Amino acid sequence: MTKAIKKQALGRGLSALLKDPENDIKSVDDKNADKVVGNIIELEISAIEINPFQPRSNFNEESLRELATSIKELGVIQPITVRKLDFNKYQLISGERRLRASTLVGLNTVPAYIRIANDNESLVMALVENIQRHDLDPIEIALSYQRLIDEIQLTQEQMSDRVGKKRSTIANYLRLLKLDPIIQTGIRDGFISMGHGRAIINIEDLDVQTDIYQKIVSRNLSVRETEALVKNYHESLKPKPEGKPKASSFDIEEDQKSTFTNYFGAKVDIKVAGNGKGKITIPFHSEEDFARIIKLING
């Protein structure tokens, strides 16, 4: 008997144990709990309900069919994980794609790891295992992180420890949720990348965000080109320095010069530069002449 057949037989044996009402296991302290919790059990698919905490909401149909074909040929290689709710009643923690694909090919049972956990623990396990093991899109990952914050009150530091990601990485995902919903949908559908989203998030105005998003899609802009577009937008918002008014030169009329000459009793020289600035020169011929001019100025 091969190892695979032995494991399968063992799974069926434990499954029978779980169907015995006298051996209903509700906690890790119950009799025979050590034989069940953490082991691979062949569970009836009809006894498993979908986890309401499941973060994944989009399943690629083509990918699901490919997985179903693989399961039909090779079986379910990686067991799903469930938690026990009641007698012969279980809730999925992780492995919804495998469960869906198994249903597609008409399987009645699926190999599963059994855990006993409360709702909060189940939510944490579901979110953490999905973040780590599945190809979630960036928005789904961000929503998973947000749920850990909102429903379990985990800090970013605690999440960093649980999921093995840097705090800065978690923060970058969470920032995506500040994007306009249209752009979030664009990321989920693959029209733009997370890099595009991280560039757009630097703009607070949601209308401007969507305008740039439309330019990215219509022009097929790269992340670097998007960053340049965002930079130009911010530059356009900066107040432009007020330029100094340009002074223009002007001409002094002869009668204006004569007014100065007649008043001071001396030939006054007036010069004007190209920028409109100038100077007035009043000549004097002696100390007495200088005193006379001073007297005129002082009135």
Catalytic sites, residue numbers: 96
Among 192, 180, 8, 18, which residue's Cα sits nearest to residue 88?
18
DSSP 8-state code for residue 193: -
- Give yes or no for a contact between 54 and 48, defined as CB atoms under 8 angstroms apart: no
Return d(Cα 137, Cα 184) in angstroms, integer.
10
Q: How far is CA 288 from CA 202, 285, 293, in A?
A: 75, 8, 9
As a residue count, the chain comes to 299
CA dihedral 197, 130, 110, 13 (to 10 degrees): 170
Please state, as a whole number, how many other Cβ atoms lie within 10 Å of the Cβ of residue 233: 15
